[in-house]
């Protein structure tokens, strides 16, 4: 375990077993639809990579970056598009691939944008969910783990851009925030 962590919540094996289940479900549900998987950078990048390897039907990928957090560990409540998609989504069956849903602000905003652009359907695959943090009424269509209302890092999730490369997910020691 990384010395900055207080505890590990999900091991690499647990995460990959869960991603495997999600990949199989998506393969069944989107058969024949050539879905467009949209990875929300940067947090979902590890999840996206492991997920698409487990989807056995044809799909396309695109990437989007949003910002709401800055360097802090609390949401500012404002969502901005920092990087937009390369191609139109009109008529496409879209799966938004997200690392975690907390307030739901990011997803509510993204869903609205994609539906406004006339996607044929928009669903959400989120690896982690913090239901206690919710400010908007939005739920994942494909959900990995429910997590307690704690700030987690690893497997794509950062604190001040660090810890994204940990293959597992955990909680930082309190003193790490005071540095």
Cβ 37 to Mg ion shortest distance, Å: 14
Nearer to Mg ion, 28 or 82 (CB): 82
Enumerate the H helices of the chain as residue ranges.
12-29, 45-53, 105-116, 174-178
Nearer to Mg ion, 50 or 158 (CB): 158
Q: What residues make contact with Mg ion under the rule CB under 5 A? A: 40, 43, 69, 99, 158
For residue 101, the partner it binds in ligand 5GP, Mg ion, none, with Cβ less than 5 to 8 A by kind, is ligand 5GP
Nearer to ligand 5GP, 27 or 67 (CB): 67
Nearer to ligand 5GP, 22 or 153 (CB): 153
Beta strand 80-83 pairing with 60-67: antiparallel
Which residue is nearest to Mg ion, using beta carbons?
43
The vertex-41 CA angle with 36 and 42, nearest 5°, equals: 145
Tell me if residue 102 is catalytic.
Answer: yes
- Round to whole Å and give the CA distance between 108 and 106: 6
For residue 171, the partner it binds in ligand 5GP, Mg ion, none, with Cβ less than 5 to 8 A by kind, is none
* 102, 129, 141, 158: the active-site residue: 102
Q: What residues make contact with ligand 5GP under the rule CB under 6 A? A: 43, 68-69, 75, 98-106, 151-153, 157-159
Q: For the packed helices 12-29 and 45-53, what is the interaxial angle rounded to 10 degrees?
A: 60
Q: Give the closest residue to 51 by CA, choosing from 28, 14, 24, 11.
A: 24
- Round to whole Å and give the CA distance between 25 and 63: 22
Catalytic residues: 102
């Amino acid at each position: 375990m990384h010395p900055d962590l207080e505890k590990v919540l999900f091991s690499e094996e647990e995460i990959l077993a869960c991603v495997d289940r999600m990949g199989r479900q998506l393969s069944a549900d989107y058969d024949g639809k050539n879905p467009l998987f949209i990875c929300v950078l940067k947090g979902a990048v590890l999840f996206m990579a492991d997920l698409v390897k487990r989807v056995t039907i044809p799909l396309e990928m695109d990437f989007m970056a949003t910002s709401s957090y800055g360097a802090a560990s609390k949401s500012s409540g404002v969502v901005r598009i920092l990087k937009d998609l390369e191609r139109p989504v009109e008529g496409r069956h879209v799966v938004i691939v997200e690392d975690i849903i907390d307030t739901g602000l990011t997803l509510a905003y993204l869903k609205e944008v994609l539906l406004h652009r006339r996607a044929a359907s928009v669903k959400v695959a989120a690896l982690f969910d913090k239901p206690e943090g919710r400010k908007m009424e939005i739920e994942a269509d494909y959900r990995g783990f429910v997590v307690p209302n704690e700030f987690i890092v690893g497997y794509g999730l950062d604190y001040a851009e660090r810890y994204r490369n940990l293959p597992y997910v955990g909680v930082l020691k309190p003193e790490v925030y005071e540095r």
